[in-house]
Amino acid sequence: MSHPPFDSPSKPAPDRYAGRGVSAQKEEVHAAISTEDPGLYPFAFTKLVADSLTGDPDYCLAVHADGAGTKSALAYLYFRETGDTSVFKGLAQDSLVMNTDDLFCVGAAGPFLLSNTIGRNKRLVPGEVIREIITGYAEQVNRFKGWGVEVVATGGETADVGDVVRTLLVDSTLTARLPRNRVVANDRVKPGDVIIGLASFGQAAYEDVYNSGIGSNGLTSARHDLLVSRYGQTYPETFEPGMPPHLSYCGPFGLQDPLESTPLTIGQALLSPTRSYGPLIIPLLAGYRDQINALVHCTGGGQTKCLRAGQAIHYIKDNLFEPPPLFAAIQRVTGTPWREMYQVFNMGHRMEIIGEPSLLPVVKELGQQFGVDVRQVGVCRAAQNQDRQDGIQGQGNRVSLHTPGGVEHYPA
């Protein structure tokens, strides 16, 4: 198969992500819930409520739902092309880790109660796929146990809903109970705090293979931007039929083509299971919680996710990781503006620790221990024009990202 030159991007769309029917910032969702009770800690990464199960005023509860997203459509495509069902185990890890890493950000370290939801089109997705997903959950629960994190599987729901789900949906809900005096409320961010990034790519000591860093966000764009049109023609069930033709499977690569500068194929890179940061975050919560002023899981919204933490803070990220090969490939092939790339993808680090400068050597030592690259990606300053009502929840925060294309400021 011949490919166009790698450095000759197609004409960029004004906003490729929105054109595919998805939103990096979820503006409509935030607007819909803007009048809801934000919970006990309005700036916390996930909503926390009173412990109504026991009535204990010293505790609070978190019930959190997330999943593998459209990565399941990619796993289905890979399975149909290769016959390999093992890729579905990774979806279970994606679904579980997207929840646990969000809950780590409020200081919850377990135990967690897990309930999983699988929706499938039975006509297209056979029973062995369901078996792989359930096995994948069990294996990931055991990995967490080895890190000192208890996850109790409570069952869930597997439904055949072909009229609603085109291929497969893999979601989870986790529940945690934690002392209020152990909550990381994300409201203490102050000028002078450092921003420490934990790499999303490479091979951690607790991973079997190299990880591309994709996680479980931006897969709609990544899949369509990189993969050739044949897949859309052969497997129309893998995408929304109303998507503009120039945005559906418009890339130059096949699943088995190599991803430059990595040991992975394009398909393997897109399906890299979401890395858990549990081995690093758990000891930080145990011994250094008082020095942590915010934890941010850079998922939906990418490197602008920190806008939701603190008030009147200017997050200056001037030492970001170089874009990993998969993200660099997407940008080169599509010509997508760097501004959009950094809102859609994590671009190299998916977890941020914001707090006292004394945290940096501690986190770096943990990174060396577990094979995860760690760096100070930036610093917090006082935001100018603090009376502005831009940003999430109107707290007047700003983010400045030093990208390969120049400095980008958010909100615009």
- 95 contacts 170 by C-beta, under 8 angstroms: yes
Percent of the chain beyond pLDDT 70?
Answer: 89
User: What is the sign of the dihedral through the CA atoms of 232, 76, 101 and 403?
Assistant: negative
Instruction: Return phi, psi of residue 327, to 5°.
Output: -70, -40
CATH H superfamily, domain 37-182: PurM-like, N-terminal domain (3.30.1330.10)
pLDDT of residue 315: 98
In whole angstroms, give the CA distance from residue 354 to residue 378: 9
The pLDDT-based confidence of 384 (bands split at 50, 70, 90) is: confident
Phi, psi for 363 (deg, rounded to 5): -70, -40
Distance (Å, whole) CA 366 – CA 374: 9
Residue 391: band (very low, low, confident or very high) from pLDDT cuts 50, 70, 90: very low
- What average pLDDT does range 290-299 have in this prediction? 97
**Partners of 158 in the β-ladder:** 118
Mean pLDDT value across residues 285-293 = 97
**The tokens of 19 are what?**
């054109």
Looking at residue 380, what is its pLDDT? Answer: 98
Does residue 13 register a pLDDT over 50?
no
Question: Rounded mean pLDDT of the chain?
Answer: 91
pLDDT reading at 115 higher than 90? yes
Q: Where are the domains of the chain?
A: 1-36+184-412, 37-182
Q: Is 221 in a helix, a strand, or coil? A: helix
Count other C-beta atoms under 10 Å from residue 263's C-beta.
11
* Cα 246 from Cα 250, distance rounded (Å): 6
Does 367 have pLDDT greater than 50? yes
**Dihedral angle over CA of 209, 212, 217, 223, nearest 10:** -110
**Mean pLDDT throughout 37-56?**
94
What are 17-34's pLDDT values in tens digits? 566 556 555 555 445 555
Place of tokens 């497997």: 235
- 92 Ramachandran zone, left/alpha/beta (phi>0; psi -120 to 50): alpha
Mean pLDDT on 280-305:
96
Q: Is the model's pLDDT at 5 over the cut of 60?
A: no
CA angle, corner 148, sides to 142 and 150, nearest 5? Answer: 60
In CATH terms, 1-36+184-412 corresponds, of 1.10.1660.10, 3.40.50.150, 3.90.650.10, 3.30.70.3190, to 3.90.650.10
